[in-house]
Amino acid sequence: MELLKEKIAQNGIVLSNSVLKVDSFLNHQIDPLLMLEIGKEFVNRFADKGITKILTLESSGIAPSVMAGLQMNVPVIFARKRKSMTLIDDLLTSTVRSFTKNETNEISISNKYITENDCVLIIDDFLANGQAAIGLIDLVNQAKAQIAGIGIVIEKAFQDGGQLLRDKGYPVESLARIASLEEGNVSFVTESITEVSK
Amino acid sequence: MELLKEKIAQNGIVLSNSVLKVDSFLNHQIDPLLMLEIGKEFVNRFADKGITKILTLESSGIAPSVMAGLQMNVPVIFARKRKSMTLIDDLLTSTVRSFTKNETNEISISNKYITENDCVLIIDDFLANGQAAIGLIDLVNQAKAQIAGIGIVIEKAFQDGGQLLRDKGYPVESLARIASLEEGNVSFVTESITEVSK
């Protein structure tokens, strides 16, 4: 997605060989128009998959997911990283290790909003080692729902999460794939992506 | 906002005399079309205020804020409740006591995204005792920016936060004001609101 790549090239800050900071438009400050375009692109990539729900993880996954949900006219569920006092009924839970934040979170969703009749698109802001996606997949599997695919805003293609998910057979669509952050530079994977027209 | 009140009446669950659960469309599962309408209503309520940024608090404030930001064509910043490893530069911080969750959170924003030239609309999902809004106001004040007003999706008008903020002189616009949750029923404040047409 060229618009996203341009935004990353212009506004992304390389903090190390593995950490890209996109706080100016995705992870802290949010560019709503860019989110709308990202939502539209997810619709293009996952057209005709019969998606009934979008599942994401708080907090940075919410904005792109809500815009995709708006375009697809389906509800968005965000998994919580901590238990909420008003989220007390039957929970589906999984565990996600975050290497960036050096912590382990329990993530959970209510068992009311994803059921065996659902076809779920998982969306997240970053894909690195794939731990968050695997946790979300686990929640969908516990709900006995189908997984339509995994939509990622930014994939760190130099880490193994993308390969791991594709090897498991999940359709993974990443709107920007980063080949390397070495020497403070962002370089993208150049590839021809077969896009399903809307 | 009638659409919102209908949604609350149909889908809200009264957990106690003070706790309303709206996990089916706002706090866990999100209805993107409703969020879009909420965003439009915030635009109507705060038209001509010269808003340059929207500030909210993760996670439930993000969806309505992004839709308002889309309509106003301004960036959204969400304050974080915990420090992120990629959010390491100069932070503005405040403290918010959550009575619902029975915990105190440090909330923070980068000092890069709100500056003295900004006119900020604060948006949050709930207004009860006003602690979250006061924390967000504190952040805007630390940034020496102006406050255009406070936009709330659901105000528990039987708690004192709304009065507290209005007494301090802030324009507060709540899209649904709940008078009472007693005996398991949601009753709304009936009032005539002067709306600024778009």
pLDDT tens figures, A155-194? 999 999 999 999 999 999 999 999 999 999 999 998 665 5
Is the distance from CB of A96 to CB of A108 less than 8 angstroms? no
Q: Please state at what angle helix B32-45 crosses helix B62-72, rounded to 10 degrees.
A: 60
Angstrom distances, CA of residue A60 to CA of B9, B130, B192: 30, 25, 37
Q: DSSP code of B114? A: S
Domain ranges within chain A, ordered by starting residue: 35-174
pLDDT at A58: 96
Q: What is the pLDDT of residues A63-111, one digit of tens each?
A: 999 999 999 999 999 999 875 555 556 899 999 987 777 788 899 999 9
Question: Could you tell me if residue B176 is left (phi over 0), alpha (psi between -120 and 50 degrees) or otherwise beta?
Answer: beta
Residue bearing the bigger pLDDT, A20 or A198: A20
Burial of A125 (0-12, 13-18, 19+ CB in 10 A): buried
**Alpha-carbon distance A192 to nearest alpha carbon in chain B (angstroms):** 31
pLDDT at A8: 98
Q: Which residue type is seen at B15?
A: L
Q: What is the pLDDT of residues A109-135, one digit of tens each?
A: 999 999 999 999 999 999 999 999 999
Q: According to the annotation, is B17 in a ligand binding site?
A: no
Of B36, B39, B40, B138, which is closest to residue B92 (Cα–Cα)? B138
Q: Which residues of A touch B28 (CB under 8 A)?
A: 77-78, 80, 84, 87, 109-110, 113
As a whole number of angstroms, the distance between CA B143 and CA B90 comes to: 11
Q: Which residues of B touch A73 (CB under 8 A)?
A: 32-33
As a whole number of angstroms, the distance between CA A67 and CA A54 comes to: 11
Strand B103-110, strand B91-98: pairing: antiparallel
Question: How many other β-carbons are positioned within 10 Å of the β-carbon of residue A12?
Answer: 21
> Who contacts A138 (Cβ-Cβ below 8 Å, separation ≥6)?
A94
Quick one: three-class SS letters along A153-166?
EEEECCCCHHHHHH
CB contact under 8 A, A63 and B66: yes
Strand partners, B53: B120
**Alpha-carbon distance B74 to nearest alpha carbon in chain A (angstroms):** 8
Interface test with B, best of A8, A20, A30, A109 (most B CBs within 10 A): A30
ipTM: 0.93
Count Cα neighbours of B85 within 13 Å in the Cβ-side half-sphere.
11
pLDDT at A105: 85
Does domain A35-174 fall under CATH 3.40.50.1820? My reply is no
For B2-188, CATH gives 3.40.50.2020
Long-range contacts of B172-180 (CB under 8 A, 24+ apart): B172/B127, B173/B42, B173/B45, B173/B46, B173/B149, B174/B127, B175/B1, B175/B4, B175/B38, B175/B41, B175/B42, B175/B151, B176/B1, B176/B4, B176/B5, B176/B8, B178/B8, B178/B20, B178/B154, B180/B17
Q: Which residues of B touch A84 (CB under 8 A)?
A: 27-28, 101
Q: What is the pLDDT of residues B21-62, one digit of tens each?
A: 999 999 999 999 999 999 999 999 998 999 999 999 999 999
Q: Residue B90 — pLDDT band, cuts 50, 70, 90?
A: confident
A36: part of which helix (H) or strand (E)?
A: helix A32-45
pLDDT at A126: 97
Question: How many other β-carbons are positioned within 10 Å of the β-carbon of residue A186?
Answer: 18
Q: DSSP code of B80? A: B
pLDDT at A192: 60
How confident is the model over B145-171, as a mean pLDDT?
Answer: 98
Question: How many other β-carbons are positioned within 10 Å of the β-carbon of residue A102?
Answer: 8
Q: What is the pLDDT of residues A24-68, one digit of tens each?
A: 999 999 999 999 999 999 999 998 999 999 999 999 999 999 999
- Confirm or reject contact between A99 and chain B (CB < 8 A): no
CB contact under 8 A, A63 and B59: no
Question: B110: nearest CA in chain A?
Answer: A28
**Alpha-carbon distance B192 to nearest alpha carbon in chain A (angstroms):** 31
pLDDT at A102: 79
Of A36, A78, A100, the CB nearest to B59: A78
Q: What is the pLDDT of residues B97-107, one digit of tens each?
A: 877 777 888 99
Q: Residue A198 — pLDDT band, cuts 50, 70, 90?
A: very low
- Confirm or reject contact between B23 and chain A (CB < 8 A): yes
Of A35, A73, A100, the CB nearest to B66: A35
Angstrom distances, CA of residue A96 to CA of A29, A81, A126, B35, B82: 24, 9, 14, 28, 17
Per the listing, tokens 């604060």 go with B122
Q: Which residues of A touch B78 (CB under 8 A)?
A: 28, 30, 59
- Confirm or reject contact between A12 and chain B (CB < 8 A): no
